Amino acid sequence: MPIIEKWLISKTHLFERLESLSREQTVIAPVRQSDGEVSFQPIRSADEITLEYVNELHPPKRFLQPVFEPLFTFNLGGARPQLTAAPPPSPQILFGVRSCDVQGFRHMDGFFSGAFKDDLYWQRRNQTTVISMACLQPADTCFCICCNGGPYLSDGFDLQLTDLGELFLAEVGSSKGAAIVQTCDRQSAGDKEERHRQALMQACDEKMIPTAYLAKAVIAITNQRVDEKLWEEMGLECFSCGGCTHVCPCCTCFEVLDHRETEKTGLRFRCWDSCQYAGFTREASGHNPRAQSKERVKRRFYHKLSFAYIQADGHPGCVGCGRCITVCQAFGLLDMAAVVKRIRREGQMVAE
């Protein structure tokens, strides 16, 4: 939904409102930890919130798709199996989410609305209010401008905030966002504030170095022009640790498992999985179509960047958050920016 209206609201009043709402529902916001890192956590007081951060290493997708998620309990002791569904999700507010992660949510929405709509995901999604924070200071690893992941958005949020000092420029994107703004002291945003916002946006864009050449990689991968030797080389470099998938806002793979508590009772749950794990595609027969690391690396980037998936999803499978750059154990050889650069360089060498 596009932006409905724009307001100027006091930071103090908004934080007071969030603190009040935290007594009625879960409010999750960026909190500074004792080690100096920032982590999104449920808050009880607005004093816990920090605005001095770029992004958390672990994406807030975990609040929509939990790492461990009970589906139902079962009891096989009676005449018929008894299944008890997990309790429905409670309302929650995600405050301070960066634009790249909001775009990640949109990707998840599409994934969980495929041939089979995931009711459990959508129960939680519909109970979630997303208050995003426009980015003013990107990290050295950020490249969201290369894949339309930010630093500002025109839709996809319930409320988008731009920090103007003592005030927020609040852009309302849904009725849920409007409901929060209407409880705060507010005034209409004028041309002066809009110019201020545009200046901040331009300054942020200029700080961000385009580190990825996605278009070149999309063309090469789609047309199968990447030499197999390059995939083999990257397969040997990959540790198959799954770190890149777990921190990626667009990765949604999960496994479904049963845990038996007694001989007759137990729990069915789902948990995060990774396409980079050796056993991810192993079949019941024991056959594994992607037993080699090179095949898993190739599949990951095909899924992220091939035109077939971009056309189906409406966007690349990357939002430019740069987290994979931070966690890659292959010393910066296999993150998104590094791989598309290698594909681009290989194409140039072939052309020469």
User: For each of the chain's 352 residues, which pLDDT tens digit applies?
Assistant: 677 899 999 999 999 999 999 999 999 999 999 999 999 999 999 999 999 998 899 999 999 999 999 999 999 988 899 999 999 999 999 999 999 999 999 999 999 998 889 999 999 999 999 999 999 888 889 999 888 888 899 999 999 999 998 899 999 999 999 999 998 888 988 888 888 888 988 888 887 766 667 888 999 999 999 999 999 999 999 999 999 999 999 999 999 999 999 999 999 999 999 999 999 999 999 999 999 999 999 999 999 999 999 999 999 999 999 999 999 999 889 999 999 999 988 875 544 4
My answer on whether 312 and 165 are in the same domain is: no
- Which pLDDT value is given to residue 203? 87
Please compute Rg for the chain using Cα positions: 22
Residue 105 CB neighbour total at 10 angstroms: 25
- Helix (H) or strand (E) segment spanning residue 246: helix 243-246
Residue 271 lies in a domain: no
Same domain, 195 and 341: no
The answer to whether 177 touches 102, Cβ cutoff 8 Å, is no
pLDDT of amino acid 352: 42
Angle at CA 85, nearest 5°, toward 79 and 89? 170
Q: For the chain, how many structural domains are there in total?
A: 2
In a shared domain, residues 123 and 19: yes
Question: Do residues 203 and 114 both lie within one domain?
Answer: yes
- Note whether 224 and 339 are same-domain residues: yes
Residues 6+ apart with CB under 8 A from 91: 24, 25, 26, 127, 128, 129
Enumerate the β-bridge partners of residue 9: 168, 186
pLDDT of res. 348 = 58
Count of CB atoms within 10 A of residue 171's CB? 26
Here the tokens at position 183 are 């409880």
pTM for the model stands at: 0.93
- 316-344: buried (b, 16+ CB within 10 Å) or exposed (e) per residue? bbbbbbbbbbbbbebeeebbbbbbbbbbb
Range of the domain at 172: 5-58+88-207
Residues with Cβ within 8 Å of 271's Cβ and at least 6 positions away in sequence, in order, are 67, 68, 69, 254, 255, 257
**pLDDT value of position 1:** 62
149 with 99: CB under 8 angstroms?
yes
Residue 211: the pLDDT is 60
Q: Is 288 inside any structural domain?
A: yes
